[in-house]
Amino acid sequence: MANFSVDKNSCHIFSSFQHTSRYPTSRKNLKTSINIVHGNCLEKLKEVKPASIHLVVTDPPYFLDGLDAGWEKGKSDAPRNTGSVGGLPVGMKFDLKQGKRLQSFIGKIGDLLFSIMLPGAFGVFFSQPRLAHRMATGLEDAGFEIRDLLAWHFTKRAQFKAFSMDHFVDRMDKTEREKIKIKQKLRGRKTPQLRPQFEAMVLIQKPRDGTFINNWLEHETGLIDASVSLVSGFSPSSVMLVEKPNRQDYNRHLTVKPVKLIEHLIKLFSLPGQIVLDPFLGSGTTAVASINTQRSCVGIEIDKNYIEIAENRVKEGKK
């Protein structure tokens, strides 16, 4: 790990310096820095210089039932009992408005990102598979091209979320005999949730300045590094097999992404020395991956507790 010094008063791509911690990370003659910003990205993104960002890698909130936009349990601002499957535990409810809310939120983020990303710059947005269409539409409406749908494939510890109807039948106002009959008719069928084995990632690109070649010569964005692969001997694939990270006692964030996966995305879609932005930094995985790949990073996070975790991971080189 490089040695980090904390400089809270400088950050070259923000016009305002408030709530910003900067960690210079120069290595191999590349001057890079990690900028961790505390605040709402809907506000903070307005302070970023236009056309300054080479890549966006981010894992936005999805307005899950029971989780609010700030990713806090029990503070959901999602409308309740609308289109939900009645009686399901929190997290299992299906809110038909959730997708529309996500699309509208991501549309606003997309509008802000559009002006600060360089022409040809890529963006990777994690999304639950069932919400990826909303994520993509919100970003497309903001002016981005949808280049691909990528999959983060994992095999370990994938919890089977479908559950049996027996419990609900037992609570029905029926005789025991009738309940047995209903259960027989149901034939052990479960709620429509297969064991999740991947998370979707929407790959976007800001429209290029002219041809791919012209755009690259002007901005060094818009083309991928096809020599980077997770499977040696194979060209990089849209399905990326990387195991989920183990829970760490220094990181209690609910949805930590694997550093190895983020490093891979950064290497594919940007160059050393370039600037990676994560407007939903969470516990700082994108910042750690940026250090490991010699990129600069700007990470914005609304929750002070997660800022602390992110800063510690960056300073201590923790996974």
Ligand X SMILES: C[S@@+](CC[C@H](N)C(=O)[O-])C[C@H]1O[C@@H](n2cnc3c(N)ncnc32)[C@H](O)[C@@H]1O
Contact residues toward ligand X (CB under 6 A) are 40-42, 59, 61, 69-71, 253, 255-257, 280, 282-283, 285, 300-303, 306
User: d(Cα 158, Cα 155) in Å, to the nearest integer?
Assistant: 6
Per-residue tokens: 48: 């970023």
End-to-end CA distance of the chain: 11
CB of 304 to ligand X, least distance (A): 10
Q: Rank residues 40 and 164 by Cβ distance to ligand X and give the closer one.
A: 40
Q: Rank residues 214 and 255 by Cβ distance to ligand X and give the closer one.
A: 255
The contacts of residue 181 (CB under 8 Å, 6+ apart) are none
Task: Tell me the three state secondary structure of residue 151.
Answer: strand
Residue nearest to ligand X (CB): 282
CB of 155 to ligand X, least distance (A): 19
CB of 54 to ligand X, least distance (A): 19
CB of 285 to ligand X, least distance (A): 3
Alpha-carbon separation of residue 184 from 110, 176, 192, 293 (angstroms): 50, 12, 19, 57
Q: Rank residues 118 and 201 by Cβ distance to ligand X and give the closer one.
A: 201
Task: Tell me the three state secondary structure of residue 314.
Answer: helix
CB of 301 to ligand X, least distance (A): 5
User: d(Cα 295, Cα 271) in Å, to the nearest integer?
Assistant: 7
Cβ atoms of residues 262 and 289 within 8 Å: yes
CB of 168 to ligand X, least distance (A): 31
Q: By C-alpha distance, which of 295, 297, 16, 18 is closest to 8? A: 18
